[in-house]
Amino acid sequence: MSTYTLNTSISYLKGVGPSRADLLKSELGIYTFEDLLNFFPNRYIDRTQFFKINQLQQNSAEIQVIGKITNIKTVQQKRGSRLVATFRDETGFMELVWFRGAKWIKDTLKLNTTYVIFGKTTHFNGLFSMPHPEIELLAEYKKSLRTAMQPVYPSTEKLTNKGITNRIVSKMIQNLFEEVHGKFAETLSDSIIKQYNFISKSEALLNIHFPKNQDLLTKAQQRLKFEELFFIQLQLIRKKLIRKSKIKGYNFTQVGAYFNEFYKNKLPFDLTNAQKRVLKEIRKDVGSNAQMNRLLQGDVGSGKTIVALLTMLIALDNGFQAALMAPTEILATQHYNSLVELLDGMGVNIQLLTGSVKTKQRKLIHEQLESGELHILIGTHALIEDKVKFKNLGIAIIDEQHRFGVEQRSKLWRKNELPPHILVMTATPIPRTLAMSVYGDLDISVIDELPPGRKEVKTAHRYDANRLSVFKFLRDEIEKGRQVYVVYPLINESEAMDYKDLMDGYESISREFPLPKYQISIVHGKMKPTDKEYEMQRFVKGETQIMVATTVIEVGVNIPNASVMVIESAERFGLSQLHQLRGRVGRGAEQSYCILMTSFKLSAEAKIRLNTMVETSDGFKIAEVDLKLRGPGNLMGTQQSGVLNLRIADIVKDANLLKMARATAINLLTVDPILANPENGCIKIAYQKISKNSTIWQNIS
Q: 525: how many CB neighbours lie within 10 A of its CB?
A: 15
Stretch touching Mg ion by CB under 5 A, among 343-351, 375-383, 551-559, 596-604: 551-559
302 binds, among Mg ion, ligand ADP, none (CB under 5 to 8 A by kind): ligand ADP
Q: Which residue's beta carbon is nearest to the bound Mg ion?
A: 556
Closer residue to ligand ADP (CB): 565 or 597 = 565
CA distances, 496 to each of 493, 510, 573, 588, 599 (Å): 8, 21, 18, 36, 20
Closer residue to Mg ion (CB): 222 or 334 = 334
556 scored as a contact of Mg ion (CB under 5 A)? yes
619 scored as a contact of Mg ion (CB under 5 A)? no
487 binds, among ligand ADP, Mg ion, none (CB under 5 to 8 A by kind): none
Residue 660, sorted as left (phi over 0), alpha (psi -120 to 50) or beta, turns out to be alpha
Min separation Cβ 459 and Mg ion, Å: 21
Min separation Cβ 573 and Mg ion, Å: 19
Stretch touching Mg ion by CB under 5 A, among 183-191, 349-357, 550-558, 603-611: 550-558
Closer residue to ligand ADP (CB): 273 or 701 = 273
Pairing of strands 134-137, 321-325: unpaired
Q: Residue 438 belongs to what H/E stretch? A: helix 432-438
Q: Which of 405, 448, 121 is nearest to 274 (CA)?
A: 448
Closer residue to ligand ADP (CB): 335 or 381 = 335
- Using CA atoms, how far apart are residues 623 and 627, in angstroms rounded to an integer? 6
67 scored as a contact of Mg ion (CB under 5 A)? no
Closer residue to ligand ADP (CB): 301 or 419 = 301
419 binds, among Mg ion, ligand ADP, none (CB under 5 to 8 A by kind): none
Min separation Cβ 471 and ligand ADP, Å: 29
- Using CA atoms, how far apart are residues 84 and 99, in angstroms rounded to an integer? 9
Largest CA distance in the chain: 98
Min separation Cβ 587 and ligand ADP, Å: 5
- Which amino acid, residue 311? T
Stretch touching Mg ion by CB under 5 A, among 99-107, 144-152, 555-563, 671-679: 555-563
CA distances, 174 to each of 148, 178, 213 (Å): 15, 6, 17
- Using CA atoms, how far apart are residues 376 and 381, in angstroms rounded to an integer? 15
463 binds, among ligand ADP, Mg ion, none (CB under 5 to 8 A by kind): none
Q: At what angle do helices 201-209 and 214-246 cross, to 10 degrees?
A: 130
Q: Residue 142 belongs to what H/E stretch? A: helix 138-143
- Using CA atoms, how far apart are residues 432 and 306, in angstroms rounded to an integer? 24
Tell me the CB-side half-sphere exposure of residue 337, using CA atoms within 13 A.
Answer: 14
Min separation Cβ 272 and ligand ADP, Å: 5
429 binds, among Mg ion, ligand ADP, none (CB under 5 to 8 A by kind): none
Stretch touching Mg ion by CB under 5 A, among 89-97, 143-151, 237-245, 552-560: 552-560
Q: Residue 447 belongs to what H/E stretch? A: strand 443-447
CA distances, 623 to each of 253, 482, 628, 652 (Å): 38, 30, 9, 12
Q: In what order do the strands lie in the sheet with 321-325?
A: 350-353, 376-379, 321-325, 393-399, 421-426, 293-298, 443-447
Min separation Cβ 340 and ligand ADP, Å: 14
Binding site for ligand ADP (CB under 6 A): 269, 271-272, 275, 298, 300-306, 427, 451, 556, 558, 587
Min separation Cβ 302 and Mg ion, Å: 9
Q: Residue 338 belongs to what H/E stretch? A: helix 329-342
> CB of 665 within 8 A of CB of 235?
no
637 binds, among ligand ADP, Mg ion, none (CB under 5 to 8 A by kind): none
532 binds, among Mg ion, ligand ADP, none (CB under 5 to 8 A by kind): none
CB within 8 Å of 523: residues ≥ 6 apart: 330, 532, 535, 536, 547, 548, 549, 550, 552, 553
Q: Which residue's beta carbon is nearest to the bound ligand ADP?
A: 303
Min separation Cβ 348 and ligand ADP, Å: 18
**Per-residue exposure over 434-459, b if at least 16 CB sit within 10 Å of its own CB, e if not:** bbbbbbbbbbbbbbbebbeeeeebeb
256 binds, among Mg ion, ligand ADP, none (CB under 5 to 8 A by kind): none
Min separation Cβ 176 and ligand ADP, Å: 53
Indicate the DSSP class of residue 264. I
Stretch touching Mg ion by CB under 5 A, among 60-68, 461-469, 556-564, 583-591: 556-564
Min separation Cβ 266 and ligand ADP, Å: 12
Min separation Cβ 468 and ligand ADP, Å: 33
379 scored as a contact of Mg ion (CB under 5 A)? no
Closer residue to Mg ion (CB): 379 or 556 = 556
Min separation Cβ 275 and ligand ADP, Å: 6
Residue 516: cis peptide before it, omega within 30 degrees of 0: yes
Closer residue to ligand ADP (CB): 229 or 310 = 310
300 binds, among ligand ADP, Mg ion, none (CB under 5 to 8 A by kind): ligand ADP
- Using CA atoms, how far apart are residues 446 and 348, in angstroms rounded to an integer? 28
Closer residue to ligand ADP (CB): 349 or 558 = 558
Three-class DSSP labels, 54-102: HHCCCCCCCEEEEEEEEEEEEEECCCCEEEEEEEEECCEEEEEEECCCH
591 binds, among Mg ion, ligand ADP, none (CB under 5 to 8 A by kind): none
269 binds, among Mg ion, ligand ADP, none (CB under 5 to 8 A by kind): ligand ADP
Residues that bind Mg ion (CB under 5 A): 556
